[in-house]
Amino acid sequence: MCKIIVQLLSFLCIILCSAQTVHSCQLFVRDPSPLFSKTFGSKNITFRSTENHIKLNKGESIQAYCGSGIVVTTNYNDQRHNQYKMASFFCDENNYIQIRGLDFDSTEEYTIYCSSSSSSSLYESKKKLPNCDEALSYGIGEKIPLIGTIIKLAICYDIETFELKYANYIAYEKKDILISPEQSVNSKLGVELEQKVDDLQNYFDFMSQQSFNISRDREPNTFFRAFSFDFESILQDEQLRKQLDKWTYIFNIMWWSQLRQNNWRFFLDALKERANSEKYMVFVGSYGNATMPITRSSSDPPEELAVQSYGLKVSAPMFVWAYVKLLSPSKAEEFVLIGHNSPYMESPDHTEFCTTDICDSILWLKESKFGHLRRVPTLGYTFCCRAEEVAKIIDNFPMPKGALETTTAAAVDLTTSMTFL
Ligand SMILES: *[C@@H]1O[C@H](CO)[C@@H](O)[C@H](O)[C@H]1NC(C)=O
Ligand SMILES: *[C@@H]1O[C@H](CO)[C@@H](O)[C@H](O)[C@H]1NC(C)=O
Ligand SMILES: *[C@@H]1O[C@H](CO)[C@@H](O)[C@H](O)[C@H]1NC(C)=O
β partners of residue 253: 232
With 70 as the cut, is the pLDDT of residue 139 above it? yes
- Residue 389 CA to residue 354 CA, distance in Å, equals 6
β partners of residue 232: 253
DSSP 98-126: EEESSS---SSPPEEEES-S---EEEE-S
Peptide bond into 181 cis (omega under 30): yes
Strand order in the sheet with 177-180: 97-100, 86-91, 61-65, 35-40, 43-48, 177-180
pLDDT band at 417 (very low <50, low <70, confident <90, very high): very low
The CA 11 to ligand 1 mean position distance, Å, reads 22
pLDDT of residue 418: 32
Name the 3-class secondary structure at 270: helix
- Residue 363 CA to residue 361 CA, distance in Å, equals 6
Asked if residue 146 has its Cβ within 6 Å of ligand 1, the reply is yes
From the CA of 254, the nearest ligand is: 2
Residue 229 CA: nearest ligand 2 atom is: 5
Q: Is the dihedral of CA 190, 192, 193, 199 positive or negative?
A: negative
Asked if residue 400 has its Cβ within 6 Å of ligand 1, the reply is no
Residue with the nearest Cα to atom 3 of ligand 3? 289
Mean pLDDT of 102-124: 80
User: Is residue 153 a contact partner of residue 244, using CB atoms and an 8 Å limit?
Assistant: yes
Q: Each residue of 8-20: pLDDT tens digit?
A: 555 544 444 444 4
User: Is residue 380 a contact partner of residue 262, using CB atoms and an 8 Å limit?
Assistant: yes
Give the closest residue to 196 by CA, choosing from 123, 141, 126, 147: 123
Q: How far is CA 204 from CA 100, 162, 198, 200, 309, in A?
A: 42, 10, 12, 6, 15
Q: Is the dihedral of CA 407, 413, 418, 419 positive or negative?
A: positive
Percentage of the chain exceeding pLDDT 90:
45
With 50 as the cut, is the pLDDT of residue 414 above it? no
Name the 3-class secondary structure at 202: helix
User: Is residue 128 a contact partner of residue 398, using CB atoms and an 8 Å limit?
Assistant: no
Which of 23-27, 307-311, 405-409 is least confident?
Answer: 405-409
From the CA of 63, the nearest ligand is: 1
Instruction: Kindly report the average pLDDT of the chain as a whole number.
Output: 84
Asked if residue 289 has its Cβ within 6 Å of ligand 2, the reply is no
Asked if residue 181 has its Cβ within 6 Å of ligand 1, the reply is yes
- Residue 385 CA to residue 397 CA, distance in Å, equals 13
pLDDT band at 177 (very low <50, low <70, confident <90, very high): low
Q: Each residue of 191-200: pLDDT tens digit?
A: 888 889 888 8
Give the closest residue to 251 by CA, choosing from 262, 241, 265: 241
pLDDT of residue 78: 61
Q: Each residue of 357-383: pLDDT tens digit?
A: 999 999 999 999 999 999 999 999 999
Give the closest residue to 212 by CA, choosing from 235, 230, 233: 230
From the CA of 217, the nearest ligand is: 2
Q: In the 8-state DSSP scheme, what is residue 348?
A: -
